[in-house]
Amino acid sequence: MIKVTLIGSGNLAQHLLSAFEKSTAVELVQVFSRKKESVSHLIPFDKITDNFDDLAEADVYIIAVSDDAIAEVSLQLPFKNQLVVHTSGSASMESLSDNNRKGVFYPLQTFTKGKEVDFKNIPICIESQFNDDYNLLKKVADSISDKVFSINSEQRRSLHVSAVFVNNFVNHLYKIGSDICDGHQVPFEILQPLIRETAEKIVTLSPNEAQTGPAKRNDKTTIEAHLNFLSDENHKNIYKLLTQSIQDNGKKL
Amino acid sequence: MIKVTLIGSGNLAQHLLSAFEKSTAVELVQVFSRKKESVSHLIPFDKITDNFDDLAEADVYIIAVSDDAIAEVSLQLPFKNQLVVHTSGSASMESLSDNNRKGVFYPLQTFTKGKEVDFKNIPICIESQFNDDYNLLKKVADSISDKVFSINSEQRRSLHVSAVFVNNFVNHLYKIGSDICDGHQVPFEILQPLIRETAEKIVTLSPNEAQTGPAKRNDKTTIEAHLNFLSDENHKNIYKLLTQSIQDNGKKL
């Protein structure tokens, strides 16, 4: 069994904790949490510590804290030459302290507190300073997920930026769609099958092949009618910019 | 059995045709197609006509053609005072000829040629000039879908504009995500579980509650890093506008 210690008690830390508790290849030896109660519903109380000096020995220490806190937390660890990894999509591996061997263990998913996820389908992107450590991280990742990828810091940054487009920005477009429906007493749920199919479609077609709509067909009458229909200036601006972007993309091909 | 005649042979017409062929409440009496071969794999040849004068009698004539052609096709029908409906999200009911009783039968989904869809889960938005016709359209819609909504032309227009945001524009953001991945030799499939979860999340949370990311948290360091990372001016502009929109939305609440 590979001994893992988890540092952090937030959303991602709790989801990782649950996944490791089910893994047969990993022994979760300890969780560091400033507030012990925040994870005590998930793991026996004697496995939780709020003191860095009480950290038990492990094969890998996984820091699952906010990006801003990674450097500081890694500096506070009271040991040297151990394998210490962070779980961030945007922080570089180098942001970890030089006191220990560095690595990254980045599960690429949006986690909702209280909503269980099936870790088997969550891609885990791993990276390490040393080859032996990579093999260990791969075993840990394989034990909870079927989708493990070797991704360096530069590639990980590109994934993180892409994720902002396909998750944060996409969700904001859902918000705008929902606002437009609300403004006309139309239940937003009518759009949910379309939203789901839009996401499913690109499993078999590339997003480029899947593109449809007035911008793609250059249907000026419909585009004009939509712009007249929209009363919110911000919605109009987003409509114009994305329509233009779809059309320019068509020209490039 | 309600007698239905379908006019059109495109993507939506073919999906409707397959759905009606399975319905036990509807008898598909005829399909009008300028090219008989385009639907002959779906329905017996003697039920296909390419001549408006040969149209058999039906309880409802469903025009499933492109928006531009609706008015013209409805004018060419060689009868009067029958129920004639179109299937468009953006055309008003009034675009149909006054020769016949008007209505709308709008299935809100993105249809891909050759990819079968389960019509049961596709919302159908119906509208009619006369109450009796509404009841008939409701029976036809109920026979193929579990989600039938009474939606007037103004509401339908709002749905159509919303659909551009949550389908066309969302797909374009997938395209941008895919381009960013391609530019860094990262397989786009790594993002697919995130894309699916983003779409699933808003079944239980409102898009407003589901919003996460650097814009929402006002994480200026990450936003700055992302803008520096993006090399395409168009991607930068979209990133800026959507980030600003998420932040302004936060202020309004």
Residues B173, A169: C-beta atoms closer than 8 Å: yes
The answer for residues whose C-beta is within 8 angstroms of residue A53's C-beta and 6 or more apart is A78
Three-class SS of residue B124?
Answer: strand
Tell whether A174 is within 8 A of chain B (Cβ): yes
Q: B104 falls in which pLDDT band (50, 70, 90)? A: very high
A101-107, strands of its sheet edge to edge: A48-49, A26-32, A2-7, A60-63, A83-86, A101-107, A124-128, A148-150
Q: Read off the DSSP letter of residue A55.
A: P
- Kindly identify which residue of chain A lies nearest to residue B203, measuring between CA atoms: A192
Tell whether A79 is within 8 A of chain B (Cβ): no
pLDDT tens digits for range A209-226: 999 999 999 999 899 999
Looking at the predicted structure, is the pLDDT value of residue B113 above 80? no
> Other C-beta atoms within 10 Å of B68: how many?
12
> Other C-beta atoms within 10 Å of A183: how many?
13
Q: B251 falls in which pLDDT band (50, 70, 90)? A: confident
Please give the C-alpha separations between residue B53 and each of A162, A233, B33, in angstroms, as whole numbers.
55, 49, 13
The tokens describing A106, both together, are 């980045």
Name chain A contacts of B10, Cβ cutoff 8 Å.
none
Of A165, A98, A102, A157, the closest CA to residue A125 belongs to: A157
Q: Which residues pair with A150 in a beta bridge?
A: A126
The tokens describing A96, both together, are 């970890």
Residues A151, B186: C-beta atoms closer than 8 Å: yes
Q: A116 falls in which pLDDT band (50, 70, 90)? A: confident
> Other C-beta atoms within 10 Å of A95: how many?
16
Tell whether B202 is within 8 A of chain A (Cβ): yes
Of A194, A184, A238, the closest CA to residue B156 belongs to: A184
- The answer to whether B188 and B217 have CB atoms below 8 angstroms apart is no
The arithmetic mean of pLDDT across residues B193-200, rounded, is 96
pLDDT tens digits for range A150-167: 999 999 999 999 999 999
Distance of alpha carbon A219 from alpha carbon A243, whole angstroms = 11
pLDDT of residue B118: 87
pLDDT of residue A25: 95
CB-closest option in B167, B177, B184 to A165:
B177
Q: Read off the DSSP letter of residue B51.
A: -
The arithmetic mean of pLDDT across residues B177-196, rounded, is 96
Looking at the predicted structure, is the pLDDT value of residue A54 above 80? yes
Scan for tokens 């759905």, then name that residue. B19
> Other C-beta atoms within 10 Å of A139: how many?
15
Scan for tokens 């099936």, then name that residue. A118
Distance of alpha carbon A57 from alpha carbon A54, whole angstroms = 10
Residues B108, A205: C-beta atoms closer than 8 Å: no
What secondary structure does DSSP assign to B208-252, as a single string?
HHH--SHHHHT-HHHHHHHHHH---HHHHHHHHHHHHHHHHHHHH
Residues B183, A115: C-beta atoms closer than 8 Å: no
Distance of alpha carbon B109 from alpha carbon B26, whole angstroms = 21
pLDDT tens digits for range A61-80: 999 999 989 999 999 999 99
What percentage of chain A exceeds 70 in pLDDT?
99
**Gyration radius of chain A's alpha carbons:** 22
Distance of alpha carbon A58 from alpha carbon B209, whole angstroms = 37
Looking at the predicted structure, is the pLDDT value of residue A253 above 70? no
pLDDT of residue B111: 82
Element (H, E) at A138: helix A131-142
Please identify among residues 4-63 of chain B the ones whose CB lies closer than 8 Å to any CB of chain A.
none
- The answer to whether B124 and B145 have CB atoms below 8 angstroms apart is yes
pLDDT of residue B115: 76
The answer for residues whose C-beta is within 8 angstroms of residue A178's C-beta and 6 or more apart is A188, B162, B206, B207, B208
Backbone φ and ψ of B134, nearest 5°? -60, -45
> Other C-beta atoms within 10 Å of A205: how many?
14
- The answer to whether B156 and A141 have CB atoms below 8 angstroms apart is no
Distance of alpha carbon A118 from alpha carbon A111, whole angstroms = 11
Per mean pLDDT, which range of A117-126, A207-216, B105-114 is the poorest?
Answer: B105-114
The arithmetic mean of pLDDT across residues A13-35, rounded, is 95
Please give the C-alpha separations between residue B203 and each of A27, A47, A84, A167, in angstroms, as whole numbers.
35, 36, 37, 15
What percentage of chain B exceeds 90 in pLDDT?
88
Backbone φ and ψ of B174, nearest 5°? -60, -40
Residues B122, A225: C-beta atoms closer than 8 Å: no
Distance of alpha carbon A65 from alpha carbon A87, whole angstroms = 8
Q: B253 falls in which pLDDT band (50, 70, 90)? A: low
- Kindly identify which residue of chain A lies nearest to residue B170, measuring between CA atoms: A170
B6 CA: distance to closest CA in chain A (Å): 23
Q: Where are the beta strands (DSSP E) in chain B?
A: 2-7, 26-32, 48-49, 60-63, 83-86, 101-107, 124-128, 148-150
Distance of alpha carbon A23 from alpha carbon A118, whole angstroms = 13
**Which amino acid appears at position B129 of this protein?**
Q
pTM: 0.91
Distance of alpha carbon A95 from alpha carbon A129, whole angstroms = 12
The arithmetic mean of pLDDT across residues A217-237, rounded, is 95
The arithmetic mean of pLDDT across residues A87-108, rounded, is 96
User: How much of chain B is helix, strand and coil, in % rounded to 5?
Assistant: 55, 15, 30
Q: Where are the beta strands (DSSP E) in A136-245?
A: 148-150
